[in-house]
Amino acid sequence: MKPTLFLLAAGMGSRYGGLKQLDTLGPHGETIMDYSIHDAIDAGFGKLVFVIRKDFEEDFRRIVLTKYESKIPCELVFQALDALPEGFTCPEGREKPWGTNHAVMMGASAIKEPFAVLNCDDFYDRDSFRVMGQFLSNLPEGSTGKYAMVGFRVGNTLSESGTVSRGVCATNEAGFLTSVVERTKIQRIDGEVKYEDENGQWVSIPDTTPVSMNFWGFTPDYFAHSVEYFKNFLSDEKNITNLKSEFFIPLMVDHLINSGQATCQVLDTTSKWFGVTYPEDRPAVVEKFQALHDAGAYPEKMF
């Protein structure tokens, strides 16, 4: 069975100030999603599932899905604040979504095969789709708990315009993930890559430190694990009362690997990530896409 590509498209670009997923950045009006989906189809993915906000469904179907439906099967699922496990209710006053792993949980009804998860507003480059597609396609039928992550070097994932969020990873000698911690403020300071820790201190890390760019590979058992751990997350008073707390994918993966319920292979890739985190990033991204087309990496018309 071909793997599915699960695209996280429910969030607004709060720092960028709009729906980055629909911004035309390529020389022929391409969005970043166009490149991801083109590369995924080439890498052997067989279905697309998008998680979006329900109030955006009509526009999303008209603007986005009509481009892809003739090339590959597509489905929509919806992230909502009140989509919580039985026995839990959304706190009054909460407006912020519950985070990336909550968005992933919305795919349980549509995905029954190995799948990859990624952000719609990041450019991952074709080799990352190749290595992930290969990993998922080669899993024995019925596999559980065998996950993967495309690892990027942190020095190749920064914005010159401000801080970025990254899952900072540690691996063992066999190349399996041993821990991943979401760091919400990372930037280059005085020539060094640094992140702000829980105490507000800036900690230096090597440029080559592997980080998660939210390009993960899972088997469908991941959904059931997520529901159970989300219950624990919501049962913690500091999470349920904090109107901005988020249930991140790295938090879930870190729990599963440290509890021995899963392994996560870090996949090496020649790809270099880029994206539009801030408005100031846009001109450089437009130039990079133009250069890729000039080099013949992508056709004039992808969809």
Q: Is it the case that residue 11 has pLDDT exceeding 70? A: no
pLDDT at residue 14 tops 80: no
Contact 209, 198 (CB under 8 A): no
Alpha carbon separation from 63 to 23, 60, 67, 68, 141 (Å, rounded): 12, 5, 8, 10, 36
Percent of the chain with pLDDT over 90: 70
Q: Can you tell me the distance from the alpha carbon of 81 to that of 294, in angstroms, rounded to the nearest whole number?
A: 43
Tens digit of each residue's pLDDT (9 = 90 or more) over 172-210: 999 999 988 889 899 999 999 999 999 999 999 999 898
Structural contact between residues 168 and 286, judged by C-beta atoms closer than 8 angstroms: no
> What is the pLDDT at residue 273?
87
Q: What pTM did the predictor assign?
A: 0.88
pLDDT at 292: 96
Q: How many helices (H) and strands (E) does the chain have?
A: 9, 13
| Predicted local confidence at residue 26, as pLDDT | 95
pLDDT given at position 277: 75
Mean pLDDT of the chain: 91
**Mean pLDDT value across residues 256-267:** 95
Q: CA end-to-end span of the chain, whole Å?
A: 24
Q: Which of 91-95, 179-183, 276-280, 293-297 has the highest mean pLDDT?
A: 293-297
- The residue with tokens 């994932």 is 157
Q: Is pLDDT at 15 greater than 70 in this prediction?
A: no
Instruction: Give the separation between CA 247 and CA 89, rounded to whole angstroms.
Output: 15
- pLDDT higher than 90, residue 133: yes
Residue of 120, 186, 188, 159 lying closest to 281 (CA atoms): 159
Rounded CA separation 292/300 (Å): 11
Report the candidate in 299, 289, 277 with the shortest Cα–Cα distance to residue 24.
Answer: 289
Model confidence pLDDT, tens digit, residues 156-165: 888 888 899 8
Please, which residues bridge with residue 93 across strands? none
- Structure confidence at residue 62 as a pLDDT band (50, 70, 90): confident
Identify the pLDDT of residue 265: 97
| Crossing angle of helices 221-235 and 249-258, rounded to 10° | 100
| CA 198, 124, 161, 100 torsion-angle sign | negative
In terms of average pLDDT, the best of 95-104, 106-115, 235-244 is 106-115
Task: Return left, alpha or beta for 288; rule: phi > 0 is left, psi -120 to 50 is alpha, else beta.
Answer: alpha
Which among 286, 281, 221, 302 has a CA at the least distance from the CA of 15?
281
pLDDT of residue 19: 62
Q: Is the pLDDT of residue 145 over 80?
A: yes
Query: Above 60 in pLDDT, residue 13?
Result: no
Q: How far apart are CA 244 and CA 237, in angstroms?
A: 13
What pLDDT is attached to residue 96?
87
